[in-house]
Every structure is written in C-alpha cells, then in structure tokens.
Amino acid sequence: MNVNGEPRGTIGPGDYFGEIALLAGSDRTATVTARTDMVCYGLTPWDFKPLVESNSAIAWKLLTAMAQKLR
C-alpha cells in the first residue's frame, strides 16, 4: 500500500482498504497494488453505512483500526 507515493505496508487475506474514503465521504487516501492474483469485494457508501451500523464487530474493528492509524 502506498500513501503519497511512499510504501506504507502490506495487507493480506481478510484485510480491507478504502474505509477512510467511505467513512469521510472523500477521495481515496492510498493506492493498493496487488502482488498476486486476488479477489476483492467492493461496497458503496449506501451499503457500507448500514452494514457498519448493524454489525458491532465490524464497527469495533474499524474504530480500533482508525485509532491505530491516528497514532
């Protein structure tokens, strides 16, 4: 994953990306480039919000991830 052209780590099976743009209603903040074949699923903002609102496990994972990114 790159932010402003700088490498920022890797993601793997079960990880996610693009949540900041969905939460903030903004443009994306990173670029993800696959090193291998992969399957990705996408959510629109109108599907994402009700999913998070109705699933506390997903909401908690997002909150903890956001806290880590703000450190």
Distance between CA atoms of 49 and 34, rounded to whole angstroms? Answer: 26
Q: Is the pLDDT score of 48 beyond 70?
A: yes
Confidence band of 2 (pLDDT split at 50, 70, 90): low
Nearest to 32 by CA among 44, 49, 19, 48: 19
Average pLDDT, the chain: 86
* Between 47 and 25, the higher pLDDT residue: 47
Confidence band of 1 (pLDDT split at 50, 70, 90): low
Residues 7/1, Cβ–Cβ less than 8 Å: yes
